[in-house]
Every structure is written in structure tokens, then in C-alpha cells.
Structure 1
Amino acid sequence: MHALSFFQNPFFPDHVTYTWFVMALLILGGLLVRGGMELYPGKLQNFMEVVIGGLDSLVTDTMGHEGKNFFPLIATIALFILVSNLLGLVPGFGSPTANLNTNAAMAIVVFILTHIMGVKVHGGKYIKQFMGPVWWLTPLILPIEIVSHLVRPVSLSIRLFGNMEGGHIVIAVLLILAPFLVPVPILILKLLICFIQTLVFTLLAMMYIGGAMGEAH
């Protein structure tokens, strides 16, 4: 991670400091938009309305009408991941999502909420999905179901971490080997990856939560 000197401190890891920095950017941006809202919106308000409207449509299309309840969480995750990913493209800055701990924290929140909603919607019947259709298959189905659900936060975390950290390494190597020939196409590809990985994490989070609520028992 390419840390700025004034972001380095002996008390907190770089990824924690950058996480706070992204949070501050998002909070400041939200306050600026809210404080400057007008009947005839300006460029910033128009941009944010497009972003929020797009996220709202994505949540509704993926999770249905009940997805509205999870819009604050999903929108926060999506905006945080996207800004964090893009921050890593700025010379001298690092991306919080290039650290496994940051991604694991978000994935664990999604994992816990998934099962909380499953129990809340289906009650005790939710547990039965882990035991298979008939009782004598439980010793086989139960370990498989447990492992498959535990793998979800792991895959969410590692996928995002691998793409972000891997992209930084590739760019760093290419800047050394061919500083005037390669950076532009690679940076364009990295920019595309930033958006794709945001979409992938967000979609999977919505599918996991929505699937727990809509599971047939």
C-alpha cells in the first residue's frame, strides 16, 4: 500500500486510516449534497441522484420490494467499496479493500445479517434447510451446508482482496518495466475492475440475504 506520509502513524495500520478517510469522504459528500439540495438540482445533486437511484433500482430488482429495508446497508457497502477501490488508483494513496481485514469485516456483517433474517422470517424452520429433506441424510447434508455457508464470507473477502491487491502489484511492476507504454491501458482495465468488483460484492450480498428470506421450507 502506497501510504502518504501524513497518513502513516504508529498507532493504527494503514488500511484502518484509509478506511476512516473513505468514511470521511462519504460523510462529507452526503452532507454537501443534503445541504445544497435544490428544486432545480446542480451537477453534484444530479450525479448523486443518479447513483442513489441506480442503487435503489438494483436492490429492488435483485431482492424485490422487501429489499427496500436493506437499501441503507447495501448502498453503504457499495459506495464504500467503490470509493475505496478508486482511491487505490490515486498516486500515493492506498485502497482499504486491498486489505483482507477490511473486506472480512463487511463480509461478516452480511453473513450474520443473512442468518438473522433467515431465522426472523422462517423461525425454527430455517434451521431445517441445513439438515436435508429426510432425517437419515442429516449426517451428510449438515456438514456440507455448514461449510458452504461458512465459505461465503471467505470467498467475498478473498475475491475483492485478490483483485484489488493484485491490480496494485501489476500496475507497480508495469510502471517499473514500461512506464511510458503500458500504464494507460492497464489503468483503464483497473478502473473497470474497480466497478466490477463493487458490483459482484454487492450483488452477492443481496443474493445471500434475499435467499435466506425467500428460502422454500
Structure 2
Amino acid sequence: MNGDSSSVSWLNSAIKPLDTMTMYAALNHQKQLTKPPGSLGKLEHVAIRLAAMQGALFPTADNVSIAIFAADHGIAEEGVSLFPQSVTAEMVKNFSHGGAAICVAARFLNAPMTVYNLGTVSPIEGLANVVNCEIAPQTASFLHQPAMTEAQLAQAINIGRQAVLSSLDKQAGQGETLDLFIAGEMGIANTTSATAIAAVLLNTVPE
């Protein structure tokens, strides 16, 4: 990975605002279609928001890039998952061999898919479409200590950023624009980690 992995100053950069004029135009366009209002459910909201993000009345999703970020969670030692941590590495192998559900979607969309291994308890080496950028074999158990150091967190966030930039550069090199970046993750005990983060952000208790 290129760039300074210790700096996350870019997180303070302003996010490009939605194109509100295009958003309202897309909303009005939905009202003119020969269908009951709202009959397409969330698809209508997705189309309107994508139009606002792309600044185009008729947004496209022809050029899609998919990235899966894999890592093991130390909280797994508390027995929070039904599955052993070895499943994380096995799923990475499954991604590489094209056997997972997201692989089917990628083939259907003709979208390139890359797996980023940020650290698994079971070693992973030499797999197609898997980028090894190990930070640690796993995070620490946040029940007893911080799951990551600030430096590790910065490194992980920057790996995600570089994945997006790499996808943009690849499309630009082909003379095209990236329409949609899809990010996913894999790691046994990830639900517990996500719940802990959500509890903090929402200022609520896990239950």
C-alpha cells in the first residue's frame, strides 16, 4: 500500500455534497413514470440518491468494483460465535476460488473483486485476487483492552482508502469512470465487534 499509513488527516476533508438539483429532478422523474407512486419501494430511493451522488438524472452502475476486507476479531475468544476463527481464512480461500455468494454477484455485474487480508489467525498466502496487508493476526479482545492501537486503526482505515483509490485508478486507466464501489467484510465474531461500535455511536446498551 502506498502513502502514509499513520495519517488519517484526510478523514477531515469535506465530503462532496449531493447534487440537490439533480436529486429533485430525479424525484420528479419518478412521479412521471407509469407506475403507482412508491411501487418500487427502496429501489426508487436508491435511484434518486444515486442520481444525486453522480449528478446525473439517469445514474449508471455499469462500472462496479468490489472489495472484501477480511480479519479476525480477538473477542472471538469469549465464545461469542458459533464458528471457529479458522472459518475466516477458509472463507478468504472461498472468495479467491469464486465460490461465495458475492463472487456470483461480481460475475453477474462483470465487476472486479479484490480481497484484502488485514490479518487472520490461520495464515493465508499466495491466493489469486487476495492482497495480503496483515496488520496483526487478529485484534485484541476488547473485553480486556483496546482492540487496536491508534496506529493499527489508522493503518486499517488507510487500507480501505487505498482500495477505493486503486479502483478509481484502474477504471481511469481504461478510460472509464467508476460508478459504484461495494465494500464488504469477513471475520468470525464481526457481529459482536459491530454491535460494540454501534452501541458507542448510538449511545445505547448492546441489549
Output the TM-score relative to the length of structure 2: 0.28
More helix by share: 1
More strand by share: 2
Output the TM-score relative to the length of structure 1: 0.27
